[in-house]
Amino acid sequence: MEAFYAVILAAGAGTRMKSDRAKVIHELCGKPMVNWVIDAVKASGTENIIVVTGHQEDQVRACIKEKVEFVSQNEQLGTGHAVMQVKPLLQGKKGTCLILCGDTPLITSETIKQIVHEHNDNNRAMTVLTAIFEDPEGYGRIIRDHSGNVRGIVEHSDATSEQLRIKEINTGIYCFEIDYLLKSLENLSNQNDQNEYYLTDTLSIILENGGKVGTTTLGCTDEMMGINDRVQLAWAQKILNRRIIEKHMRNGVTFLNPDSCIVEHSVDIGRDTVIYPLTILEGNTKVGQNCIIGPNSKITDTLIGNNVTVLNSVTIESTIDDDTNVGPFAYLRPGNQIGKNVKIGDFVEVKKSVIGDHTKISHLAYIGDAEIGKNVNIGCGVVVVNYDGEKKHKTIVGDNSFVGCNVNLVSPVEVKANSFIAAGSTITEEVPEFSLAIARSRQTIIRDWVIRKGRLRGKKPEE
């Protein structure tokens, strides 16, 4: 039975990245670049994926979560040598083998389907994916005869002045019939200045053995872009980010300034939501319908319900239910569950807490390791004192309670439902239901103390 295999070359060192990390694990829109290639291959209908690893292969293999087979290229002796390492897995197989590089994250499943389709429909032994460049500087050129048939690939450094005028270039992506691929690999030579085995040399070998070679021309040249340094990484990030945002816009999401936003591949956004400029949505974030997010907000791994507003704020690993308003300048640290119709106002920080429905924490408060009930009012300057220097402790505030301004709730402590806490109080003991708690010293007035102590800052009043 014939099969379809894909071989992804991911063994290179990528020295121009100037990094301690393997090149192909650098992320774009929240996903390592090699995984963009794997996902495109899988989306094209290919399940038999082989990844060739070498330089820092432990890092590379650890970042790949999809089911693939790995082979090692212990010495990097060229692209042909890399594919040679796959021979044991292809021996005895019939069908098609796609070969592409792990540093081309912009390749799409549509292009992969196109090259495979044209390869099979034309009964070719080899198909080369090519592109037309107005400025093909640095790329290998496709050599054709007078009838337009492919006769070879010449590298830029080896090309004659006439060949350098050719604008059709080699993208480095190929489709082979497995039989022809295996036979051509046996005849590859490394007799060149670099002493490497080049996969491009298989083209002439296949032609010499009577195999049919053709090309598929790439429509969007962005897809062939390989990542070799940080500049190219940034360009690819911009292109992928734009693809993601345009997909959301076509699904009913408004971006007021798409180019100013960053949205990672795993983010989900409901229709009629408006994303303001300079907003970052990353990780496993899900935003519901009719929300307003931003400007200047960073939302990470957060589940947001419908009709929610997050203004100039940061949220991390939290859940925000329907009709809630967050910000401006709020900070939701990991572990929060924010209820329905809640207000988390300006300069409020919440950490690992449950906030009940209809509760208001309007400004300048810190809530940590707490359970705040429904319909609670937390006044300005309230602090949950959750840390004793060694351990974190919990505070519970019951439903319908009112906590006045500048209150310290010293954990562990519980304020029962329907209670009031007077402004300026430091609460260290349980507050019973329906109670008013006042924990501050009585105000004392010492008349003329400023004059007698010589601390007058202005003119002494006339007697």
Q: Which residues are tagged catalytic?
A: 363
In whole angstroms, what is the distance from residue 399 CA to residue 3 CA? Answer: 63
Burial tier of 458 (Cβ tally within 10 Å: 0-12, 13-18, 19+): exposed
**36 burial via Cβ count (<10 Å: 0-12, 13-18, 19+):** buried
Instruction: For residue 338, give both structure tokens.
Output: 């924010």
404-423 in b/e form (b: 16+ CB < 10 A) is bbbbbbbbbbbbbbbbbbbe
Phi, psi of 84 (to 5 degrees): -60, -30
**β-bridge pairing 126-132 and 168-177:** antiparallel
Task: Tell me the three state secondary structure of residue 359.
Answer: coil
What distance separates the 2 farthest-apart alpha carbons in the chain?
118
Long-range CB contacts for residues 332-340, cutoff 8 Å, separation at least 24: 332/302, 339/374, 340/305
Phi, psi of 157 (to 5 degrees): -70, -20
The answer to whether the Cα torsion of 198, 203, 207, 211 is positive or negative is positive
Residue 51 backbone phi and psi in degrees, to 5: -110, 125
Question: Nearest CA to 62 among 5, 10, 107?
Answer: 10
Which two three-digit tokens encode residue 336? 């929060």
Q: Identify whether the C-beta of residue 370 lies closer than 8 Å to the C-beta of residue 386.
A: yes
- Written as six digits, the tokens of 180 are 């022809």
How does DSSP classify residue 392? B
